[in-house]
Structure 1
Amino acid sequence: MAYQMEDNGQPEDFAPTKTSTINIRPVRPADVAAVSAIYAHYVKHGTATFEEVPPDEQEMAQRIEAIQAQNYLWLVADIAGQIAGYAYLAPHKDRSAYRYTAEVSIYMDPSMTRQGVGTQLLGALLKYAEQSNRFATVMAVVGDSANSGSIALHEKFGFKRRGLSKGLGYKFGQFIDVVYMQLILPDPPLFPPRSEIKCSGSDGTPIAGLETEQRVHGARA
């Protein structure tokens, strides 16, 4: 089931969440400048993204609109009117066979970390992904195997490490790894049961060590 969209480009039954200090809500046009500034920091100073030239606000607005046009979700964390971070769910790849796989991305204002914002953002996105009944699995593609904070955050929600590509990117004069992480969602009603998912070779023989376990859905952190 695909969520229907409101006039503002957001799923009509997505309910924003709010704690005493953090308001998790859909992105608005007025947020584009803050979102662009946060991302620009990681483009210029970090290895979480392999982009090397920060997109301007117009480009960022177009990226947000492209996500929304495909009925996916882009959220921001608002603390007293300041954008502390953002996260979005997007197609993992364009080819049609990937249509039941989503990919999550999350970026935090570097001055507002360690306040539980990342946990709130990722939790809200995963709740949406699960309740939408659109997806069988969610991927996280983590730039830099040394990005222990991002890896730990995803593991907190049940993501498992599924692969490591050594030296896949080159930035700041060094080769950088990419870590692939996967969260298998509970069986959506429209999909056949998946009591066990196995990776196999072209002859159907299971590949040792690549079996994936069914995720047991637990409480959100």
Structure 2
Amino acid sequence: MTTIRPPVESDLPAVAAVYAHYVTETVATFDETPPTVDEWRAKAAAIIGAGLPFLVAEEDGEVLGFAYAARYRPKPAYRHTLEDTVYLAPGATGRGLGGMLLAELIAAARQAGAHQLVAVVAGSGEETASLNLHAAFGFVEAGRLRRVGFKHGRWIDTTLLQLGLGS
């Protein structure tokens, strides 16, 4: 059975490992060096400390993915807009875990008082799963930024999606 819950200290190495795969093997993130466990510890503490959601998907004691919502931009007028992040372990895709995480994240973002939830999906054609996941939850495309990132020897687009949370 899958449990969606806030992370505990012992989850952070798995969170770091999941994300490291996407940093080194894909263009899903524009990070080029995987953050350390200490960096994840600080990030999780900052997000949770701000009253925002950070969640992990756990099955049989193993963290298979994570999601969080953080401030979209640092300027004060953006304070009611959050950006979502969802990542699954490579072997955990296609099982509905992303949907479970995103559903809980949306509910928690609403509870935190967010007005808008934004997704920034990187890729130039291979990001279909992420776009479909967000569309299934009512996110709509707000625009596309072409060739804004350069990683693994190629230019990468980002698609901006947003979901009104009704607050």
Q: TM-score, normalised by structure 2?
A: 0.97
Find 1:140's aligned residue among 93, 116, 119.
119
Q: CA deviation at 1:131?
A: 3.3
Matched to 1:97, the amino acid is A
Find 2:4's aligned residue among 24, 35, 56.
24
Matched to 1:135, the amino acid is A
For the pair shown, the structure with the greater C-alpha radius of gyration is: 1
Find 1:150's aligned residue among 110, 130, 133.
130
Q: CA deviation at 1:59?
A: 1.1
Structure 1 segment 42-191 matched on structure 2, within 5 A: 42-132=22-112, 134-146=113-125, 147-186=127-166, 188=167
| CA distance in structure 1 between the aligned counterparts of 2:35 and 2:80, rounded to whole angstroms | 28
1:82-120 per-residue CA deviation (whole Å, 9 max, x = no partner) reads: 111000011001110001101110000001111110000
| CA distance in structure 2 between the aligned counterparts of 1:80 and 1:170, rounded to whole angstroms | 38
Percent sequence identity is 38
User: Secondary structure at 1:34's aligned position in 2?
Assistant: helix
Tell me the equivalent position of 1:217. Answer: none
1:125-150 per-residue CA deviation (whole Å, 9 max, x = no partner) reads: 11112234x11111001111420000
**Number of residue-to-residue matches in the alignment:** 166
Instruction: Spell out structure 1 runs of 4+ moving beyond 6 A.
Output: none
* Contact 1:145-1:179 within 8 A present in 2 as well: no
| CA distance in structure 2 between the aligned counterparts of 1:113 and 1:57, rounded to whole angstroms | 23
Higher RCO (CA 8 Å, separation ≥ 6 residues): 2
Quick check: which one's strand share is greater?
2
Quick check: which one's helix share is greater?
2
Q: CA deviation at 1:185?
A: 1.5
Q: CA deviation at 1:47?
A: 0.8
Matched to 2:84, the amino acid is V
| CA distance in structure 1 between the aligned counterparts of 2:82 and 2:40, rounded to whole angstroms | 20
| CA distance in structure 1 between the aligned counterparts of 2:111 and 2:162, rounded to whole angstroms | 18
| CA distance in structure 2 between the aligned counterparts of 1:165 and 1:159, rounded to whole angstroms | 17
